[in-house]
A and B are shown apart, each in its own frame.
Chain A
C-alpha cells in the first residue's frame, strides 16, 4: 500500500470534494478518414488529442479537483516517440504545480508502448503496478484507489477478482481497464461482470477501454466508462470528455460529463426531398451545418454528411458528384474555418421508379440483380476480384480500408456496392438521354 499526500480540498471551504475520471487519451494518435481538400482547416486539426488533454488539465485546475484518475491507454499502440512523453510530462507537471495528484493505470495500448517503460513520472503521478493489484491512499481527501496495470497487451484474466478489500471509512475507487463482458469493436480484455464489480465493496469503479461513454449504478455502486477524451474517426462521434465526480463523507454525490474534445465528430443526415435544385440543396445542407456548429460551439468539427435525395436531384448530384462536393466543401469553408467535411454520401431515396416500364433501364437493373442473386457468377467473380486487387494495393493498411470509409471495397458489402453502381449508372444514362 502506498500513501500520497494531496492538498485538502475541504480547506477551500467546500462541503464536498471532486475528482476527475478520464481514460483512453491515445496521445498523438491521428484522426482517421479525413481526406484533405482545398479549404480544409488542416492546421486547426493538428494535435487534437493533445489539445483535448490540455483542456482536461485546465479544467482540473479550474475546478480545483483533489486528484485525476486516468484509467488506461495514455498512449496509442507501439508509437514510440519521446515527443509524446515530453508533452505528457509537461501536462502532469502543470497538475503538480496546481497541487493535483494523478493516478494512472496502463492499459493494453500502454503495455505495448516503449514510453511507458522509460518515462520518469513527476512526483504527483502514481502508476499502479502491473505484477499485482496496488492501492494508493490519499488520506487528506479520504480516498483509497485500487488498481492494476496491464503487464502485457492481451490480458484475458479477470483482474478485478484479485483487487484488494475496501478500506473502511474511506471512499474506495477501483481503477480498471476492461470491456466488462465484451463490447463491439473492443478487444475482450480483463473480462469481468457488472455484478462482480458491484459486489467488490467499492463505491466507484473508474473504468477505461470502451470509447463510448457508459455508466451503471448497481447496489449504489457507480460503474463508469467516461469514453475516450477525443474521437478519432466518425465512429467515435458526439460529445467526448471526462467525468467529474463529487463526493463527501457519505459517498458519491453527483457525476457530471464534461465536454473536452478539441475536434468534435458528427454524422449529419440532411433530407433533401423537398429541394428541387442543386442550389437549394446546397443551401439546406449549409444551413444544417451552421446550426450544428451553433449547437456545439466547441471548436473544430469533423462531419460526415449523409444526404437523402430523390430524383432528379439525386441523379444530377451523382452525375456530377465531384463538382457538387467541391462546391459544398468550398461553401462550408467560406462559412467557417472550423469545419472539415469528412465525407459526403448521397443516399438516393428512390432509385427504382415503378411508374412505367422503361425497357432499357430495366435491362440495367436486371443485369445488376443477376449479379446480386449470383445468377451472373462470372461477373460477380470479376467484381470481387477487382475489389480484392484494389484493396491489396493498400498493403499493410488493406485491413482498415473498410473502416476508413471504403466500405464498398469490402466484399461483404457487395449488395450496397451494387446499389451504388446502379444509382450511378441510371443517373448517367438518364442524364445523357
Chain B
C-alpha cells in the first residue's frame, strides 16, 4: 500500500493543505520542514489519517478535537485506490466513492491488518527511537538474542524491560531477604500473632481479678460506716467549742450600745452620712471660689500688656500679593537678557539668506512655489538623462567588442573529418561488445564443466570409462530401486512383527508361570496326586476286601503287603479316611485347582504357538536371502558393486546428474566457438573504418576499437557544433548593432531639449542661465527658508516688549504698599517687599495672642459664677439636715454625726456575732445554740481536748478510706486492663492484613519473576533461530551505512552469552560497547532496517515506513550512504523521511539517482496568525517550479535588505512571470512575506 497524498483539511495550524507523497514510485520521499513549520504535526496527521484521530489529540488547538479533519489518498497493487476523509470517528469516501462511509474492513485491508500500535512500534522510526535504541545496545552488551529479538519487536530497550522486571521482583521478594516486602510482611504477621496470643486472657485469670475487686469494694464500705459515726460526734464538740466565746462577746456588745444612747442625740447611719457629705461640699465650694478670683485678676493684667500694629494689618492683602509676585518679577528680569540674544541670532540668519540670494536688504519678496518645484524636477531629471546616456554608450561599445571577438573565434575553428562510415561500423559492433566480454567467462565455464565431469565420474567409480560408455550404461530403473526398498522394508516389518509376537508369547508364558507358582505357593493347596493315590490305595484295599468277602478268605500276603504289615481292617479304614480327607481337601481348594488346570492348558497353547513362530521366521529369512541374491545380480550386470538400496538411489541420482553435466559441457563448448568467430569479423570491419578517418586502429580488441571509434566520432561532432554555435551568436550580435546606436542617439536628443527648459526655469528665480543644477537647488532651498526667518525675528521683538511692561508695573505696586510704613528711598523693590513681609508677620502674631487671652478670661468668669452658686446650695442643705434631726442652732453638728456612726457600728457588730453563732450551730437556731452553750457542763480546755481527740479519729479513718479506695482503683484497673475488649482480636486482624499483603506481593513476585525468566528464554531461542539471516542482512546494511568502514557483523555463538561483534575492514573485531556513538546509531538503524525487511516479508500488504530525523547525528558521507539505503528500502515499500535539516535536501539530490527522490517542503508557520494557514505545504511539482520560485523570492528579499517591487523581483532573474502569482500569494498567506501597498504600488519585504 502507498500513501499518495495526505490532506490536512483542518488539522493543527493547517487548513486545506496537502502533502503530495506520490513521488517517487521507487525510492525516498523527503518531507523537509524547518523548525516551527509543522513537521511533527504533519507526521501526526499522517498517522491520524491511517489509524484515526486520537480523542485527546495535541493538534486540537485551532479546532476542537471533533472538528479535526484529515484525509488521504491510498493505492495498492491488489486493492486499487481509496480516497477518504476522516473527522471524529467517521471515515467518508471521496473521489470515486464520494460521500459513502468507508467500512473499517476496507481500510484495514489497505493497512494489511497492521494496528496503530504495531505500526508505531515496527514501521515508524524517530530520532528518539534511534537514541534510546543505540543506548540499549550498550546495555545489551551485544547479546545476540536481545538484539535480534529487539530488532524484530521494534523495541527500544529490552534491557530496560528486563531490568524493570528484575528490580520489581527483587523489591518484592528474595529468598533470604530482610527488606523485601514479602518477608517483611510475614515477619510482621508473626510478631502480631505472638502479641495477640500474649494478650488473650484465660478464664481463670479473669475470675481471680474480679474477686479481688469485690473484696476491695467491701473494705471501702466498712470504713465509710465508721467514719460517718466519728464525724457526727466531732461536729457537735466543735460547734460548742466555737459558740462559747461568741456568746460572751454578744453580751458585752449589748452593754456598750446602751451606753452610747445615754450621752446625747443619736441619728441614723444614713443621716450621719448625708450630713458629713453636705459639710464637705460647703468647704470645697469656698476654696474653689477664692482660687478662681485670683486667676481672673492675672488675665486682666496680661491682656492690657498686648500691642497690635493695625496699619500694617490694613494692607495685609496688598503685601501678600506682592510676596506671591516676587518669583515672577525675578524670572522676567532674567528672561529679558536671554530673549535679546535669541533676537540677535534670528536677525543674523535672515541676513545670511538675503546675502545668499544677492539682496542687500529685505524687500519682503516671495517666489512662487510652482517655479521652485519646476527647478527641482528639472535638476533631478538631468541626473537620470545623463545616466541613460552613459549606459547606452557603454552597451554600444560592449556589443562592438563582442562582434570582433566572435569573428576571431570563427576564424580559429577548423573543419571536422567525415565519420559517417565509422559510426555505422561502430553501431553494428556495439551489440556484440558483451559477447566479447563473455568469451572469457564462457571459456572458463566450459573448462570447469569438463573438470566437474571428471571429478564426479571418479566419485561414482566410473573413472576408467569414457563418456559414451557412461551414457550407454543400463542402470536399473527408479522403479526397480523403489521395489527393492519396498521389499526390504516389508522384510523388516515382518521381522519386527515376528519379534513382537514372540515377545508377547514369552510375556504371556512368564505371566501364566507366575500365576501357577502363585497358586502352588498358597498354603493348604493339596498335591494334585494326593487324591488319586489315596483313592487308588483305598480301591486296592477294597479289591482285596471284596475278594475276601466274595471268597470268604483273606489273601494274607496281599493284605499284608497292602497294609504294609499293619492289621488289614484298620489299615483299610485308615485308607478310606485318607481318601475322604483328600477329597474334602480338594473340594475346599476346588477354585484354585480349576484355575491351575486352566493355566496349564493355556501354557501348552502358548508353547505351541511359540514353536509355530520359529517356523515362520525360517521361511522369512529364506525369502530375504533370495531377494538379496537377485539385487546383487542386477548390479553385477552393469559392473557396479551393489550396496543398500538407499545408497544406490543416491548413486543413481548422482549418475543422472553426471549425464546432465556431460550434455551441458558439450553445448557450452559449441557456443563458445561460434561467439569467437563473430567477434573476430567485427574487429576486422571496425579497424578498417578507423584507418579511413586517418587514425591508427587500437590493437586491444573489439571493446577498445569501439571506444576509439566513439572518441573519434564525438570529437568530430563537437567541432561541428562549436562552429554552429559561434555563427549563431555572431548573427544575433550584428542584428542588435543598429538598435544600440539608435539608443545612444535618442538619449542625446533628450539632453538637448532639457537645456532649453532649464534656462527658462532659472529666469523665474532671477538666476543666471549658467547656473548648474546643484547651485539652482541651493537657491530653491534659500527661497523656501526666507519666510520662516522673518517670522522668528518679529516674534522675539514682541515678547521682549511685554516683559519690560511687567517689571515696571511690579515696582509701582511696591511703592504704593510701603508708603507710610517703610521709608527706604532708593532701595530695590525686592528688599522693600521683604521688609513689608516681616512686619506683616509680627502684626498677625500679636493679634492671635490677644484673641487667646480674651477666650481664657471669659471661661474664668463663668467658673466664678458657678462657685458662688455651689456655696449657696451647701448652706441650704446643712440647714435642712438640722431641721430633719430636730437640732437647734447651738448644737455642734460634728459630735452628733460621730455618735450616730459609733452607735450604728455597735449594732452591726452585734448582728454579725449572732450570725456567726447561727453559722457555728450548723443548722441549729440562735436560741438553740445559746441554750446548748448554757447547758454545757465542761470547761473550755476540757472541751478543746475532747474535740481534738475526735478530729484525730476522723483523720485516721479518712486515711484508711483513701487507702482502701486506692486499692479498689488498682484492682479495678487490673480488671479493666484485661477487659480492654478487642486488643487481641484487633492484633489478629492486623496480622491477617500483613498476611494478605504478603500473599499479594508474593503473587506479584512470581508473575514478575516468571515473566523475566520467560523473556530471557524467548530472547535466547529467538536469537538462536533467527540470527543467521537477520544478522547477515543487518551486517550488509551496516556495511553500507558506514561506507564499508565495517565489513560485516560477526556473531560469537560459542561463549556462554552469545555476543555480537562488528568487523572492521582491516579484520579487527569490536564489541558493541567499543563502537563510537555514531557507529552505534548506525548499527541500531541497520538492525531495525533488517527487522523491518523481515517483518515486511510476513505482511500480505506492504505498509509505508516512516523515519523522522534519524540522520541528525550522521556525518555527510554516512548521511549520503543512509539516504541510499533508505531509497533502497523504497524499492520494496514506500519510504518517507521527515527532516528539518535543509542540507539533507541537497545531500539527497546529490546522493540519489534521478527518479529516486521526491521532496516535499513545508514553509515556516506564522505563530501570530489568528486563524490557521491555508496551503502552507507545497510539493515539488513535476517540473519543480513552484517551490524554487518561493525560495527565489525569499532569497532575493533577504539579499536586498529593503522592500522590493514585483518588477525588481522579476528582474532579479530567478523567477518568471508565470510562477509569480502563486509563489507570492503563498508567501504572503503564510506570513513569511509582508506586502505594503496595493497593485502596481505594492512593495514586498521579509516579515521579521
Name the A residues within 8 Å of B1075 (CB-CB).
Answer: none
B698 to chain A, nearest CB (A): 58
In the complex, B1235 has a CB within 8 A of chain A: no
Contact B161 A432 (CB under 8 A): yes
* Bound CA span A27–B1095, Å: 64
In the complex, A216 has a CB within 8 A of chain B: no
Name the A residues within 8 Å of B155 (CB-CB).
Answer: 360, 429, 432-433
Contact B156 A433 (CB under 8 A): yes
Known A356-B1099, A393-B183, A425-B1014; contact A30-B999, beta-carbon cutoff 8 A: no
* Residues 314-366 of A contacting B (Cβ, < 8 Å): 343, 353, 355-361, 363-364
Contact A429 B985 (CB under 8 A): no
Contact B986 A277 (CB under 8 A): no
Contact of B1007 among A42, A80, A84, A408 (CB under 8 A): A408
Contact B985 A30 (CB under 8 A): yes
Contact B153 A386 (CB under 8 A): no
Residue of B nearest to A119 (CB): B203
Contact of B117 among A84, A311, A364, A420 (CB under 8 A): A311
In the complex, B829 has a CB within 8 A of chain A: no
* Residues 378-396 of A contacting B (Cβ, < 8 Å): 379, 382-383, 386-387, 389-391, 393-395
Name the A residues within 8 Å of B154 (CB-CB).
Answer: 360, 433
Known A30-B985, A31-B992; contact A80-B202, beta-carbon cutoff 8 A: yes
A372 to chain B, nearest CB (A): 12
Contact B153 A429 (CB under 8 A): yes
In the complex, B114 has a CB within 8 A of chain A: yes
Contact B121 A433 (CB under 8 A): yes
* Bound CA span A361–B115, Å: 14
Known A364-B1018, A424-B1011; contact A359-B1095, beta-carbon cutoff 8 A: yes
Contact A46 B206 (CB under 8 A): no
* Bound CA span A312–B991, Å: 38
Contact with A along B479-522 (1 / 0, CB 8 A): 00000000000000000000000000000000000000000000
Contact of B1098 among A28, A359, A425, A432 (CB under 8 A): A359
In the complex, B941 has a CB within 8 A of chain A: no
In the complex, B37 has a CB within 8 A of chain A: no
Contact A83 B982 (CB under 8 A): yes
* Bound CA span A408–B1001, Å: 12
In the complex, B152 has a CB within 8 A of chain A: yes
Contact of A387 among B984, B998, B1006 (CB under 8 A): B1006
In the complex, B701 has a CB within 8 A of chain A: no
In the complex, A47 has a CB within 8 A of chain B: yes
Known A83-B200, A405-B1000, A424-B1007; contact A363-B1022, beta-carbon cutoff 8 A: yes
Contact B1003 A84 (CB under 8 A): no
Number of residues on chain A facing chain B (CB within 8 A): 73
* Bound CA span A81–B996, Å: 23
B297 to chain A, nearest CB (A): 89
Known A367-B1018, A421-B1010, A430-B121; contact A81-B984, beta-carbon cutoff 8 A: yes
In the complex, B113 has a CB within 8 A of chain A: yes
Contact A32 B1002 (CB under 8 A): no
Contact of A367 among B117, B153, B996, B1014 (CB under 8 A): B1014
* Residues 104-158 of A contacting B (Cβ, < 8 Å): 114-115, 118-119
In the complex, B182 has a CB within 8 A of chain A: yes
* Bound CA span A401–B186, Å: 12
* Bound CA span A430–B115, Å: 12
Contact B152 A45 (CB under 8 A): no
* Bound CA span A369–B488, Å: 41
Name the B residues within 8 Å of A387 (CB-CB).
Answer: 1006
* Residues 93-126 of B contacting A (Cβ, < 8 Å): 108, 112-115, 117-118, 120-122
Residue of B nearest to A33 (CB): B996
Contact with A along B1087-1114 (1 / 0, CB 8 A): 0000000110011000000000000000
Name the A residues within 8 Å of B1007 (CB-CB).
Answer: 408, 417, 420-421, 424
* Residues 558-586 of B contacting A (Cβ, < 8 Å): none
Name the B residues within 8 Å of A425 (CB-CB).
Answer: 1011, 1014-1015
In the complex, B143 has a CB within 8 A of chain A: no
* Bound CA span A383–B1014, Å: 10
Known A408-B1007, A421-B1014; contact A36-B997, beta-carbon cutoff 8 A: yes
Contact with A along B650-669 (1 / 0, CB 8 A): 00000000000000000000
B994 to chain A, nearest CB (A): 8
In the complex, A409 has a CB within 8 A of chain B: yes
Contact B1005 A390 (CB under 8 A): yes
Name the A residues within 8 Å of B161 (CB-CB).
Answer: 428-429, 432
Contact B115 A83 (CB under 8 A): no
Contact B993 A356 (CB under 8 A): no
Name the B residues within 8 Å of A92 (CB-CB).
Answer: none
B349 to chain A, nearest CB (A): 81
In the complex, A86 has a CB within 8 A of chain B: yes
In the complex, B988 has a CB within 8 A of chain A: yes
* Bound CA span A35–B155, Å: 36
Contact B149 A405 (CB under 8 A): no
Contact B200 A81 (CB under 8 A): yes
Name the A residues within 8 Å of B999 (CB-CB).
Answer: 33, 35, 394, 401, 404-406, 409
Name the B residues within 8 Å of A424 (CB-CB).
Answer: 1007-1008, 1011
Name the B residues within 8 Å of A86 (CB-CB).
Answer: 206, 979
Residue of A nearest to B151 (CB): A360
In the complex, B157 has a CB within 8 A of chain A: yes
B167 to chain A, nearest CB (A): 12
In the complex, A282 has a CB within 8 A of chain B: no
In the complex, B1056 has a CB within 8 A of chain A: no
* Bound CA span A405–B1001, Å: 11
Name the A residues within 8 Å of B978 (CB-CB).
Answer: 82-83
Residue of B nearest to A81 (CB): B200
Q: In this complex, which of A359, A360, A425 has the most chain B Cβ atoms within 10 angstroms of its Cβ?
A: A360
Contact of B156 among A276, A371, A432 (CB under 8 A): A432
Name the B residues within 8 Å of A404 (CB-CB).
Answer: 995-996, 999
* Bound CA span A357–B1018, Å: 17
* Bound CA span A114–B1009, Å: 45
* Residues 256-286 of A contacting B (Cβ, < 8 Å): 276-277
Name the A residues within 8 Å of B996 (CB-CB).
Answer: 32-36, 404-405
Name the B residues within 8 Å of A31 (CB-CB).
Answer: 989, 992
* Bound CA span A397–B1099, Å: 52
Known A46-B986, A86-B979, A429-B153; contact A394-B160, beta-carbon cutoff 8 A: no
Known A80-B200, A408-B1006; contact A432-B157, beta-carbon cutoff 8 A: yes
Residue of B nearest to A425 (CB): B1011
Contact B203 A115 (CB under 8 A): yes
Name the B residues within 8 Å of A395 (CB-CB).
Answer: 186
Residue of B nearest to A28 (CB): B985
Contact B153 A35 (CB under 8 A): no
Contact of A406 among B205, B1003, B1018, B1021 (CB under 8 A): B1003
A316 to chain B, nearest CB (A): 11
Seed contacts A83-B980, A359-B1095, A428-B161; 13 additional CB < 8 Å A-B pairs: A30-B989, A42-B993, A46-B986, A80-B202, A81-B985, A83-B200, A114-B202, A371-B1014, A406-B1003, A420-B1007, A421-B1007, A430-B121, A432-B158
Can you give 11 A-B contacts (C-beta < 8 A)?
A82-B206, A83-B201, A359-B152, A363-B1021, A364-B1014, A383-B1013, A390-B1005, A406-B999, A421-B1010, A432-B155, A432-B161
- A residues lining the B interface (CB < 8 Å): 28, 30-36, 42, 45-47, 50, 79-87, 114-115, 118-119, 276-277, 311-312, 343, 353, 355-361, 363-364, 367-368, 371, 379, 382-383, 386-387, 389-391, 393-395, 397, 401, 404-409, 417, 420-421, 424-425, 428-430, 432-433
